[in-house]
Every structure is written in structure tokens, then in C-alpha cells.
Amino acid sequence: MPYSYRVTSHSPANPDVVFTALVRAATWPSWSPIDAAEIEGGGDPAGRQQVGDTRIFRTGRAVSRERIVELVTDRRFGYENVSGPFRSYRGTVELAAAPQGGTDITWSATFEPKLRPSGPFWRWYLTRFMQRMADGLASYAGDQF
């Protein structure tokens, strides 16, 4: 059975500034709970990543690998988790120019845990964790413009 979450945030920055932070793995530890980021195969985490790139994130002792599967400049960032406690995990960050200025950020995912009874826990945990991610991204991008 698939589970999902959806969180939102608002940044005073334009969508291009928010998008730039998303496609550069090196920025993620600056605005999220993630401790370190690298590109699998030794790519430059400060450079712009592309569809097909796999990023490795470390948070405490936890390590996750995520492959970028969709990029729509200044609008959408899609990724899949390729390791960890999920049978499947597809996340999307949607960016929309807000009527009042800045960018509305919607971070969502659909996932299926390897251990089926753990689904409610993961939905609870990921909703809170990803709200911190969305809020951190919004704030960081706002400081950049």
C-alpha cells in the first residue's frame, strides 16, 4: 500500500533562486537537516546536477542515495530514493511564482516502505522532516536574493 505526504512553504525569492539551490547538492547541508552531500561517482556537488545524477546524503549515521529523475527549470525537481527503508519512493518539489511575490514551494512524495507496517510511522516522520526541508529551502533562497 503506498503512502504519501505533502508540505508547503513560501520563499521571498524568485523560483530561479529556489531552483538553483535544489540542483546544487552542496547547498543542501546549509539549509536542511542533512549533514553532508556528495555526488556518486565523484561529481562536483557545487555544480548543477542533471537528470540521472545520484546524490548521497548523510544525516547522522543515516545515508540515503537519491537519483534525480526530473528537472523542469524553475518549476519542478523530481527524485527517487534508491536505497534505504523504501521499496519505492518518488519525491517532487514543485515551485510556483506566488501572486504576492516570491515562490510557493510544495514538497511531496509517494512511497512504499519495505516493512509494510512501518508506513504510518514513515508518513509521520517524513512529513515533519520534509517540512523542515521546505522551510529551510525557503529561508536559504530568501537570503540569496
Beta bridge pairs of residue 71: 77
> Could you give the C-alpha distances from 79 to 1, 99, 100, 144, 145, in angstroms and in order?
20, 27, 29, 24, 25
User: Is there a contact between 132 and 140 (Cβ–Cβ < 8 Å)?
Assistant: no
Beta strand 62-72 pairing with 54-59: antiparallel
What pTM value is reported for the model?
0.95
> Could you give the C-alpha distances from 64 to 58, 76, 100, in angstroms and in order?
7, 21, 36
Q: d(Cα 129, Cα 58) in Å, to the nearest integer?
A: 14
Cα–Cα–Cα angle for 125, 52, 98, rounded to 5 degrees: 60
Residue with the three cell numbers 527503508: 85
With a CB cutoff of 8 Å and minimum separation 6, the contacts of 128 are none
Q: What is the pLDDT along the chain (145 residues), one digit of tens a residue?
A: 899 999 999 999 999 999 999 999 999 999 999 999 999 988 888 999 999 999 999 999 999 999 999 999 999 999 999 988 999 999 999 999 999 999 999 999 999 999 989 999 999 999 999 999 999 999 999 998 6
Find the helix packing angle between 119-144 and 15-22, rounded to 10°. 120
